[in-house]
Amino acid sequence: MATTPAPLPIASLLGSDDYSDLTLACEGQEFKAHKAIVCTQSPVLAAALRGDFEEARTNLVNINFDLVTCKQMINFLYTGQYEVSSSEEPGRPRDKKLNVEGLAVIDDNGWFSSPYIKAIVFDSYVIDSPTTLTADTEAYELVSEQQNTSERLLSHVRVNAIADYYAVTALCQLANSKICEIIQTEWSPIVFTNVVKEALNSTGDDSFYEMMARLAAEHIAELMEIDTFVKLELPSNFAMGLLQNCSKRLEEAKNEIQKAKMAKADADFLRLEFETRNKENELRLNYVNECFENLNDIDQCRNSNCSTEFPFYIESNCILRCSKCRCRHSLDKRGRFR
């Protein structure tokens, strides 16, 4: 029985000179690579390394992105994953003073301030401008968290940008999933605005803008309070996606309202039916009680030929009948048996 061969240890070739036939250069550093690994994942690099191009002659490709992002792409090509750098990881030590331009600030009077947002947050109104906070201020922790989130998101946006540029589709998808997860779990309208602003100048990935449009639609009320977001010159695919998602959410809201109205109408109908039946039952019960009270006035059968004591039974609809002669005793207009 034939066995399936074990997968090649591609990750072990990361940065190795063994079998290397390609060099990727970025910011003065060179990385040994392998065409079979790189070109099968990037049609852009594959095209550059074919034909009458300088890259094809020299087997050297200059990566025109920052060094950290370049390394993240290379790591992905060999391992299928990438990580943010240690300086971007949550919980890293921060400077005594924190530059908070573009982020939320609480001033000495307890006012929540920012150049990008005008809304009531933590019972404070946004009125102020960016400042620098020291670690012992009340707002330091809040702003530190927002800045940390912003840095991690922007790192993933840059990964998306390089993946889009070199058409590494799987890397685009991975970066988008990381971006989406952070935005959903650490939502901040200010950070979201900064990310969109950065992305407009770096990536053309349609799937990224579709995702961001969907997320923006979910928080459109908050975002419309931010002047910087309102003034962004959004690309057509983002703007159209935002409109479509807002329209979809509006339609869903209308449907939910309609369902709620129908449910209320059904509940009102059932309540009315219950009340009507309850009243009918009360009338029947009162009628039966009156009938039983009237039995005390009957001591014999109205049939003059029936001379025994008056044993009786009651049929449906309150019909009283003598159990001996079967004579019927019906109710008169006053509700009395006769």
pLDDT of residue 129: 39
CA 171 to chain centre: 23
CA 189 to chain centre: 15
Total-model pTM: 0.63
Contact 213, 238 (CB under 8 A): yes
Phi, psi of 100, deg, nearest 5: -115, 20
Return the closest-CA partner of residue 104 out of 120, 137, 89, 126: 126
Chunked into runs of 10 residues, the chain (338 residues) has average pLDDT values of 55 83 94 94 94 90 95 94 65 43 45 37 34 48 74 93 96 96 91 88 90 91 87 86 80 80 84 86 76 66 70 66 73 58
CA distance 222 to 119: 8
Q: Which amino acid is at 41?
A: Q
Phi, psi of 105, deg, nearest 5: -140, 140
Contact 82, 75 (CB under 8 A): yes
Contact 114, 146 (CB under 8 A): no
pLDDT of residue 124: 33
pLDDT of residue 155: 93
